[in-house]
Chain A
Amino acid sequence: MNELLLVVTIAGEKVAFAAAAVESVVELDTLIPVPRAAPHVAGLSALRSRVLTVIDCMRSLELGDTDCSDGIRECAVVELDGHHYALIVDLVEDVVEALSDPQPVRAAMGPGWERVSEGMVETENGPLLLVDVAALIAGVEARAAA
């Protein structure tokens, strides 16, 4: 199991995305809000003439708001069902190799984390939570609807 993981910080916590799902890491400066959209949709942005739907990961996890007022944010760009999303993270740390398959986390996590968790993976830097990007994008409403 040599899957590569992108290590990012969301709400102060180091978590991992499957690197294969991430197209690129970018810094976005423009953000066009989408009025009336779900709260975790921070807005729209453009990257190389593609429209990106920007997802505020903190809000999707119900861990508070990301402060977007200072302009440039780091984002991981992913594609899901033909749409491109930019996930706002605090910081993109590193790319590491997964040393194990995801294992269920048996300790109690915060409710937001619980929803997006795909399990815990071992890395050189210790265990990391593997985050399900699709769940992160779906946000809170999807769970309520399910």
Chain B
Amino acid sequence: MDDLIADFVAECREMLEALGGEIVAWEAQPDDRARLDSIFRFVHTVKGNCGFFEFPRLEALSHAAEDALADVRAGRRHADAALVSAVLAIIDRIGEMVASIEAGEEMPAGDDSALIHALAPGAESASAPAAPAAADAATKPSVAPRTIRLSVELLDRVMSTVSDMVLARNELARRLRESATDVPVDGAFERLSSIIAEMRDAITRTRMQRIENLFVGLPRMVRDLSAELGKQVLVDIDGGDVELDREMIEMIRDPLTHIIRNAVDHGIEKPGERLQAGKREIGVLSVSARQSGNQILIDIHDDGRGIDGKKLVEKAIANGVLTKEDAAQLAQREQLALIFEAGLSTATQVTAISGRGVGMDVVRSNVERIGGIVEVDSRLGEGTRMTLRVPLTLTIIPALTVSIAGQHFAIPRSAIEEIVRSNGESVTLEHVGGAGIATIRGRRVPEVSLALILGLQSTVSEQDRTLIVLRPAGGDVYALAVDRIHDHEELVVKPAAPAVMATGLYAGTTLADDGSPILLMDPSGIAQVGGVRLEVQERSARIVEDPASIASKATPVLLFRGLDGGRRALRLAVVDRIEEVPTSNVRETAGQLRVQVGDAILPLAGAVASDLGGEKVRLFRLNDGQFEIGYAFTEVIDFAMIERDVIHAERAGEVNGVSLINGEPAELVDAHWLFSTNVGVAARSAEQLVCRIPCWDPWMQNMLRPLVEAAGYRVIDDAEEEEADVVIASVGEDSPEDSTDRTIWLRTEPEAAGRNDESIYRYDRAGLLMALKSVAVGRGR
């Protein structure tokens, strides 16, 4: 409602401003028909809106003025000076009221009958009452919001100019790289660059709208629907302040409406059914939006009867969408995903609202067309959750650049499922009747060669190409063979000329950093031209394979060269990312080599101080889920699979074995050993264990405390009221309040007092550490 009022106020202000000149001109020339018309339009608009908003005073005023003006327009009355000033007085009063509405004040009480009366033919001039009100307004300076209204076309033009500017900047960057430039020039360019980036962000935001605009109509729609269906539904809307590209909001309006209609119609049960099922009579439909990275997630959740996956499967079999054999292999998620198949609906009865079996397939293809995803999750009897994931904006598309025969093309990243090498271990290429079939980890997917589709001569042999597994909007996966993969880029995409679009292969054009044009491929167009039948669903492409054979041997590893030149491999899963830091960030501190990466200081493995020549050092950031360490290396050789046997090292150490990888031996780095030797000391974790040590004991505080802290504990003293994971106390002292089996007792004599004495001699460092460690293990660490 507030939004609507704000719109109304803005509209009135705009019209009042425009009228300013007209009123004066009308006063001078009461016969001027055009002026009369525009004034009439104003009072008419105000009258119409006031009735809606219940501003009776405004309505009465505008109504009276409209009547008088209508008479003039119809020629029943002549616009004399008295009428003109009476109308002007009314317009002034309307202006004042609008200003007070805008300021959020109560509608000032007052009597307008004098003004209205003045309109009557032959009445005295009524300009006098307006004067005090005007003075009143002057004392309260109006706080106009600092906003202006702009036409969307203008914004679009600014947006496209900024896009051009980004492209021009990219070109300048390229030219600067080519020619040797001074540092000041580079500096100035960097500054320009960042300003342009900032400007692009800002202008992108001007195209943003709060998703509230989309949500505002939902409660009403749900109310009407549920009334029609005899249901009771409570709508809970959250996240209306999430902002989304204006165009995108329009694009998801229909899919969202459809999903909500479905939820009310099929999801939520009638009150009686709900009571029987032990639920509250009133169903809850919650719609929420949130931003996650450069995506917006919209959740539509109902607590209705859920989707019956089995029923869907039966229906799919009956409709011939699915064979019985395939159906048996569907996982729960795949069963639910059947609702997106064309021609399937679980509604037994077709209602006016939904259930005709057209819909969810259209919803999915509409959402996918804008680079989004629809997901469905449902529990029978408990409810259904639909999630729409859509990108923030349409104009800047993250894309992967690839090349064929030296020419670059871009592929939208949203369609890419994965990228594999043709000669990779888990990929085989076969030809069946001339058609390419790629088997990727046991999944058969049609393979098309981009070179063939484009009619280009590829110089790369089939085995050396890279396969991009694509899932085009509304279709099934296929593999596209390209010569080379280049880069991930954020591209400003523009529509291509009709002659180019007519090929059906391209989605638009863009400029690369080097200023050359790049064509953006349309994944479903490629499939169509390449003759891939997308309606043949993926299920049938999944061939039965002994699952053990996938899991057993092949372990993905990262093959790299260490600082000492050794060929090594690390299991891929432990490598978080690759960083490059200045060598000066590596220091030997506290008996260990450490590296500063951003704000974190990590233990550095894989290097000794003398190895570190050069200005920069590259390192893997390894992560065990809790701690991080760095591992220095020279270069990454490849991703590979360990499929052969590993010859294990005899002694525990950095390297725990050797295996043949890609035909050459490589040392396998033991990530466990790395963590166990490097982390124990340095780790600072949120879940740090807490150890309580008596504060009055100087030996404990000065001698023991550093040792306990080094073992990874946070030390508190008995003054602090926090629950400790372990308590250390001296034998003979009173046991602390929270003394439990987690208490470590220390004794001053080397020998134990008896067989049952579990205390530890206070200089038995190994024993102490062991005890501390066992507490940590007991905590499940």
Which positions in A face B, CB cutoff 8 Å?
Answer: 30, 32-38, 40-41, 44-46, 48-53, 55, 81, 83, 85, 137-139, 141
As a 0/1 sequence over residues 68 to 108 of chain B, the CB contacts with chain A under 8 angstroms (1 = contact) are 00000000000000000000000000000000000000000
Tell me if B455 counts as interface (CB < 8 A to partner A).
yes
How near does chain A come to B504, taking the closest CB pair, in angstroms?
A: 8
How near does chain A come to B360, taking the closest CB pair, in angstroms?
A: 34
* Interface CB pairs A-B, < 8 A, 18: A30-B516, A32-B517, A32-B519, A34-B500, A34-B503, A35-B503, A35-B505, A36-B455, A36-B529, A37-B500, A41-B499, A41-B500, A49-B511, A51-B496, A53-B497, A81-B498, A83-B498, A85-B497
**Most B CB within 10 A of own CB, among A44, A45, A52, A139:** A44
Contact B511 A46 (CB under 8 A): yes
Chain A residue nearest to B166 in the complex (CB):
A49
> Which residues of the other chain, A, contact B164 by a CB distance below 8 angstroms?
49-50
Docked CA distance A35–B505 (Å): 9
Contact B453 A36 (CB under 8 A): yes
Chain B residue nearest to A35 in the complex (CB):
B454
Contact B516 A46 (CB under 8 A): yes
> Which residues of the other chain, A, contact B510 by a CB distance below 8 angstroms?
51
Docked CA distance A61–B752 (Å): 106
Q: Do A53 and B516 form a contact, CB below 8 Å, given A35-B455, A36-B505, A48-B168?
A: no
Chain B residue nearest to A85 in the complex (CB):
B497
Contact B503 A37 (CB under 8 A): yes
> Which residues of the other chain, A, contact B730 by a CB distance below 8 angstroms?
none
As a 0/1 sequence over residues 446 to 468 of chain B, the CB contacts with chain A under 8 angstroms (1 = contact) are 00000001111000000000000
> Which residues of the other chain, B, contact A38 by a CB distance below 8 angstroms?
499, 502-503
> Which residues of the other chain, B, contact A34 by a CB distance below 8 angstroms?
500, 503, 506, 519
Q: Do A51 and B517 form a contact, CB below 8 Å, given A35-B455, A139-B499?
A: yes
- Not counting A32-B407, A37-B503, a sample of 4 additional A-B residue pairs whose C-beta atoms are within 8 angstroms of each other reads A36-B529, A45-B517, A46-B515, A53-B499
Docked CA distance A51–B171 (Å): 13
Chain A residue nearest to B172 in the complex (CB):
A49
> Which residues of the other chain, B, contact A35 by a CB distance below 8 angstroms?
407, 453-456, 503, 505
Chain A residue nearest to B494 in the complex (CB):
A51
Docked CA distance A116–B776 (Å): 85
Docked CA distance A30–B518 (Å): 12
Tell me if B365 counts as interface (CB < 8 A to partner A).
no
Pick from B456, B502, B511, B515: contact of A37, CB below 8 A: B502
**Most B CB within 10 A of own CB, among A44, A49, A138:** A49
Q: Quick one: which of B599-634 are within 8 Å of A by CB?
A: none
As a 0/1 sequence over residues 491 to 534 of chain B, the CB contacts with chain A under 8 angstroms (1 = contact) are 00011111110110110011100011111000000000100000
Tell me if B167 counts as interface (CB < 8 A to partner A).
yes
> Which residues of the other chain, A, contact B167 by a CB distance below 8 angstroms?
49
Contact B499 A51 (CB under 8 A): no
How near does chain A come to B171, taking the closest CB pair, in angstroms?
A: 6
Docked CA distance A112–B407 (Å): 32
How near does chain B come to A35, taking the closest CB pair, in angstroms?
A: 3
Docked CA distance A114–B503 (Å): 26
How near does chain B come to A106, taking the closest CB pair, in angstroms?
A: 31
> Which residues of the other chain, A, contact B505 by a CB distance below 8 angstroms?
35-36
Pick from B171, B407, B519: contact of A49, CB below 8 A: B171
Q: Do A141 and B502 form a contact, CB below 8 Å, given A34-B519, A44-B509?
A: yes
Contact B502 A53 (CB under 8 A): no
Docked CA distance A120–B500 (Å): 31
Q: Do A51 and B498 form a contact, CB below 8 Å, given A34-B519, A46-B517?
A: no
Docked CA distance A66–B326 (Å): 56
Q: Do A37 and B517 form a contact, CB below 8 Å, given A44-B509, A48-B168?
A: no
Docked CA distance A49–B164 (Å): 6
**Most B CB within 10 A of own CB, among A35, A83, A138:** A35
Docked CA distance A138–B407 (Å): 25
Docked CA distance A126–B516 (Å): 41
Q: Quick one: which of B138-180 are within 8 Å of A by CB?
A: 164, 167-168, 170-171
**Most A CB within 10 A of own CB, among B495, B509, B511, B529:** B509
Q: Do A44 and B519 form a contact, CB below 8 Å, given A34-B503, A35-B454, A37-B502?
A: yes
> Which residues of the other chain, A, contact B518 by a CB distance below 8 angstroms?
32
Q: Do A53 and B496 form a contact, CB below 8 Å, given A32-B516, A37-B502?
A: yes
How near does chain B come to A115, taking the closest CB pair, in angstroms?
A: 15
Docked CA distance A53–B164 (Å): 17
How near does chain B come to A12, taking the closest CB pair, in angstroms?
A: 25
Docked CA distance A52–B516 (Å): 11
Q: Do A37 and B455 form a contact, CB below 8 Å, given A44-B517, A48-B168, A49-B164?
A: no
> Which residues of the other chain, B, contact A55 by a CB distance below 8 angstroms?
499
Contact A49 B500 (CB under 8 A): no
> Which residues of the other chain, B, contact A40 by a CB distance below 8 angstroms?
499
> Which residues of the other chain, B, contact A52 by a CB distance below 8 angstroms?
517
> Which residues of the other chain, A, contact B499 by a CB distance below 8 angstroms?
37-38, 40-41, 53, 55, 137-139
> Which residues of the other chain, A, contact B519 by a CB distance below 8 angstroms?
32, 34, 44
